[in-house]
């Protein structure tokens, strides 16, 4: 089993580069790269590797479900492809079914928790660090102390990002915040639903709305840009550095959770050609260096500095974020929402001792330590 938490970019040897150039890789995307988010990042990461190593690449876009993903995956397997990348947790079941059908093909499942076969190679995301940093910035920048969160599928990685953001808001907000948390009925592709939810949040007085990727980003950012320039409202995005690719959104951009997909995908391909790929697993989080927050260019300098200081503490291991778990490894709050778990899963309190230390309260996201807010830059 090859299991990696910390991943660094590596350069292939001449022999490895030659082997990489012989690969045939298929990429399955739930939407198109036009989302400037999840699909944009994945597409460009694999294209970057293709440019460097000159392997064969085919892409299938707008694949809504696992059942739909079976069509291109099986076609590519019949054409001798070595690797099929299932870009999304919604493909988890199909990635495993496909893995059982084609044991010689590496089935890369991104944002997936389950591998039933040794050829299912998981790249798992944990957005809690990025969510927490953006939440802390949001709590400091907000004038109304009202916040919205809009998500696609209510899956563990997205849920962790939402819970991280809520914890960050509660950590820095000078008063008890009002928080609305919404997951869209039609999941990641629900641009119009996300825009409606975000617009409702802004109309109700929220001045910061957190978005968790894909078409949800498109809807939330569109709603933010449609608001008056005064008073100032803010929004976020996930997976890409939006400042670099969509500077028109800069006036409302609180920050981006930026994910490095090229490095773990390169590692997966390199593991394949070196025959070190069975039961492969890479965790993408802030501590691994594969996730970071890029503050928006119009955010006040002191708030951007505070966010980056918290990010450094997470990367350096001073702040460790965890979640109460069941024996199955999933957070209690994700699996169980009943009153029996209220003391574990509630989002009502987070108290940091004077001078810093171990927070107390019943946040789903738990912290070993948080510095006093007054000590932040």
Q: What is the pLDDT of residue 329?
A: 47
Domain 128-257+293-375 indexed as CATH 3.40.50.300: no
State which fold the 3-125+260-284 domain adopts. Rossmann fold (3.40.50)
Both tokens of residue 11? 């350069």
* 8 Å CB contact between 267 and 7: yes
Q: Give pLDDT, residue 350.
A: 53
At residue 1, the pLDDT reads 39
- Position 303 scores a pLDDT of 98
3-state secondary structure 127-159: CHHHHHHHHHHHHHHCCCCEEEEEECCCCHHHH
Would you tell me how many other CB atoms lie within 10 Å of the CB of residue 244?
Answer: 10
Residue ranges in the chain modelled with pLDDT below 70: 1-10, 324-363
Residue 6: what pLDDT? 41
pLDDT at 351: 55
Angle at 304 between CA 215 and CA 302, to 5 degrees: 150
**83: helix, strand or coil:** strand
Angstrom distance (rounded) from CA 296 to CA 284: 22
CA nearest neighbour of 219 among 266, 186, 245: 186
Residue holding tokens 């919205």?
148
Distances (CA, A) of 162 to 7, 130, 155, 255: 25, 10, 11, 15
Per the CB < 8 A criterion, the answer to whether 238 and 211 are in contact is yes
Q: Domain extents for the chain?
A: 3-125+260-284, 128-257+293-375
pLDDT tens-digit map of 259-312: 999 999 999 999 999 999 999 999 999 999 999 999 999 999 999 999 999 999
pLDDT at residue 342, as a whole number:
43
Q: pTM for the complete prediction?
A: 0.89
Q: Do domains 3-125+260-284 and 128-257+293-375 have the same CATH topology?
A: yes
């Amino acid at each position: 089993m090859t299991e990696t938490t910390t991943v660094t970019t590596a350069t292939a040897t001449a022999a490895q580069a030659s082997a990489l150039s012989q690969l045939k890789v298929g990429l399955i995307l739930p939407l198109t790269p036009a989302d400037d988010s999840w699909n944009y990042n994945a597409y460009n990461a694999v294209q970057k590797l293709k440019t460097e190593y000159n392997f064969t690449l085919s892409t299938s876009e707008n694949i809504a479900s696992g059942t739909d993903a079976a069509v291109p995956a099986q076609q590519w397997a019949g054409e001798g492809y070595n690797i099929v990348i299932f870009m999304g947790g919604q493909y988890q079941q199909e990635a495993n079914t496909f893995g059982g059908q084609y044991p010689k093909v590496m089935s890369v499942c991104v944002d997936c928790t389950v591998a039933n076969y040794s050829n299912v190679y998981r790249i798992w995301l944990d957005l809690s660090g990025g969510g927490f940093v953006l939440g802390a910035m949001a709590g400091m920048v907000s004038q109304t102390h009202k916040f919205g969160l809009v998500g696609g599928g209510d899956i563990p990685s997205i849920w962790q990002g939402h819970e991280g953001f809520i914890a960050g808001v509660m950590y820095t907000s000078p008063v008890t915040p009002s928080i609305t948390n919404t997951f869209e009925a039609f999941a990641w592709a629900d641009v119009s639903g996300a825009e409606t939810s975000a617009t409702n949040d802004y109309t109700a007085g929220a001045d910061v709305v957190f978005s968790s990727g894909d078409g949800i980003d498109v809807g939330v950012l569109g709603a933010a840009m449609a608001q008056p320039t005064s008073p100032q409202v803010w929004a976020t995005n996930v997976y890409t550095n939006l400042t670099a690719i969509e500077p028109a959104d800069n006036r409302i951009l609180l920050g981006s959770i930026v994910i490095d997909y090229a490095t773990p995908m390169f590692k997966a391909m390199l593991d394949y050609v070196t025959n070190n790929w069975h039961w492969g697993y890479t965790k993408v989080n802030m501590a691994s260096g594969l996730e970071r927050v890029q503050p928006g260019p119009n955010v006040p300098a002191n708030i951007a500095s505070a966010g980056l200081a918290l990010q450094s503490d997470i990367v350096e291991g001073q702040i460790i974020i965890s979640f109460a778990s069941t024996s199955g490894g999933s957070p209690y709050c994700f699996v169980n929402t009943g009153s029996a778990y209220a003391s574990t899963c509630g989002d009502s309190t987070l108290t940091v001792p004077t001078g810093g230390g171990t927070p107390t309260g019943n946040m789903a996201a738990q912290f070993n330590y948080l510095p006093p807010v007054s000590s932040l830059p």
